[in-house]
Amino acid sequence: MDDLDATLDAALEKRTAEPASETVDVLVGGSVWTLKFTELDSADWADARALNPMRPQSQIDRHFGHNYHGTARVAAPQSGVRLVDGEPVSLTIDQWAKLFKAISARDFQAVADTLLALHDFLPEQRLEQAKKALRPASVKKRRSPAK
């Protein structure tokens, strides 16, 4: 059990010490704001998805299995901050709601895309990289003497 616990402890330490983050610029009034989103705990992301079931008429929701935009509205306040002179500034839930009304659809889509990249695409890439690392090096086939 000690090896399993050590492995889990090391994985947890790495995840909390080095969470992935991404920034996105949005236009608020006439000002450019930089928002920084940091990867959430997996249960928090799962909860955000669960709170936003798929809209049957939405192709993007059918593709991802949840309300893509609703999940972003729930996850952004948990994951995001505004960067001011490089320093993080937290926004309240009400401020996030106002921000989402103040920005363009294009900017809101960029926020949603950033959150999905952090929580779905990045973990998928990590898994694929780990699988590749486990595969044995390919063995070259010998050429047929007939050729």
pLDDT band at 2 (very low <50, low <70, confident <90, very high): low
Report the first-to-last Cα separation within the chain, whole angstroms. 54
The domain over range 17-120 is classified in CATH as 3.30.2220 = yes
Mean pLDDT, the chain, whole residue set:
89
- Beta-carbon contacts of residue 58 (< 8 Å; ≥ 6 apart): 67, 68
Encode pLDDT of 49-100 as tens digits.
Answer: 999 999 999 999 999 999 999 999 999 999 999 999 999 999 999 999 999 9
pLDDT value at position 127? 79
| 31 contacts 43 by C-beta, under 8 angstroms | no
pLDDT at 113 over 70: yes
pLDDT value at position 146? 65
pLDDT at 147 over 70: no
Domain boundaries, the chain: 17-120
pTM listed for this prediction: 0.79
- Return the exposure string of 120-139: e unless at least 16 CB atoms fall within 10 Å of the residue's CB, then b: beeeeeeeeeeeeeeeeeee
